[in-house]
Amino acid sequence: MDDEKLRAFFRSLDRSLFVEGGLKPLAPLDRPLPIGFGQTVSQPTLVLDMTAALELDKNCRVLEIGTGSGYQTTFLAEFAGEVFTVERIPELSLQARERLARLGYSNIRFRTGDGSLGWAQYAPYDRIIVTAAAGSVPPRLIAQLKNGGRMLIPVGPPGLQELTLVTKDENGAVGARALYAVTFVELVGDFGWGK
Ligand code: SAH
């Protein structure tokens, strides 16, 4: 993935498209913002860093858990081949779908449901990104990661997690290492936080 292209895209993408009304003037600030339903969109530099850590290319099939506003989804759609994104709150999923369609992306499939179970129909995925905090890495997400693939997932209690990079080598051996501390809202669902 070309770092310069990623940075240029980051600078060109207006985050105010992903928040509502009175929050729009705050969009350029490097801080999380509310997106309704008690959820938040991350600070832009974190989205940039997580996108870079995924090492995307146009051959990648990506699974995203936690569509939220669709801001992170836009980076995935821009730099990966196909994006499959799951959100549990129907209103957020619909809103993101409309935003991404308006921006002209046609390589994204949206689903409303429990993403802690992954999305088996289109597995395996070259990349998986979870933008909500899990107590441990949901087993079905590991199962749906392709050999040679990478997954980013915040692991830890509400309030403070370790952004964890999970890798699967060509033989299917799974490794994990913590990258840095992050704060995400909780992943709920069958394999969500506290499960
Ligand atoms: N990446 C998003 C922010 C996500 S906030 C953005 O760029 O805006 C985390 C999102 O994860 C919330 O929208 C929340 O509803 C969703 N979520 C939490 N648990 C989930 C689950 N089990 N399955 C799917 N989505 C989930």
Q: What is the pLDDT of residues 4-19, one digit of tens each?
A: 999 999 999 999 999 9
Which residues, 6 or more positions from 159, have their beta carbon under 8 angstroms from its beta carbon? 183
Q: What's the token pair of residue 57?
A: 């290319």
Domain, as residue range, for 47: 3-182
Q: What is the pLDDT of residues 48-87, one digit of tens each?
A: 999 999 999 999 999 999 999 999 999 999 999 999 999 9
Q: How many domains does the chain have?
A: 1
pTM of the prediction?
Answer: 0.98
Residue 46's CB is within 10 A of a number of other CB atoms, namely: 20
Predicted pLDDT at 1: 77
> Has residue 193 been placed in a domain?
no
Relative to beta strand 82-87, strand 108-112 is: parallel
Q: Please, which pLDDT band fits residue 2 given cuts at 50, 70 and 90?
A: confident
| 171 Cα to the center of ligand 1, angstroms | 31
Predicted pLDDT at 195: 66
Catalytic, out of 12, 16, 42, 116 = 42
Tell me the sheet residues that pair with 111.
Answer: 86
Task: Please compute the mean of the pLDDT values over residues 33-42 and round it to a whole number.
Answer: 96
> Has residue 152 been placed in a domain?
yes
> Has residue 187 been placed in a domain?
no
> Has residue 188 been placed in a domain?
no
Residue 64 CB less than 6 A away from ligand 1: no
Task: Look up 136 and say whether it is catalytic.
Answer: no
Atom of ligand 1 nearest to the CA of 92: 13
Residue 88 CB less than 6 A away from ligand 1: yes
> Has residue 22 been placed in a domain?
yes
Task: Please compute the mean of the pLDDT values over residues 149-170 and round it to a whole number.
Answer: 97
| 68 Cα to the center of ligand 1, angstroms | 5
Q: What is the CATH number of the domain that holds 133?
A: 3.40.50.150
The chain-wide mean pLDDT, for the chain, equals 97
